[in-house]
Amino acid sequence: MIVQGGKRYGFEMKLADAPTVTKSMRIALTDLQLSRLFVVYPGARSYPLSDDIEVLSIFDLPARLASLKRKR
């Protein structure tokens, strides 16, 4: 988890080819009061799973972290 600009962002790592929303993801969003949860996986394509959960390609992680840093 990181905090940027007063918002909390969570990161979960998965080895699955096509991650899906799990109960633990929903619990983490609520318990940690996350603005967004990123599910980082080894695939090539990033895409939304829901309004507050995004599957993030490991290759897109550096750019996403940089964009969060700019949102201060």
pLDDT per residue as tens digits for the range 31-72: 999 999 999 999 999 999 999 999 999 999 999 999 988 876
- Please give the pLDDT value at position 38: 98
CA distance 72 to 20: 30
pTM exceeds 0.85: yes
Q: Using an 8 Å Cβ cutoff, are 42 and 19 in contact? A: no
- The one-character DSSP state at 26 is H
Cα–Cα distance for residue pair 15/38, rounded to 1 Å: 14
Distance, in Å, from the CA atom of 48 to the CA atom of 61, rounded to the nearest integer, reads 14
pLDDT tens-place string over residues 21-32: 999 999 999 999
> Quick check: 36 and 52 in contact, CB under 8 A?
yes
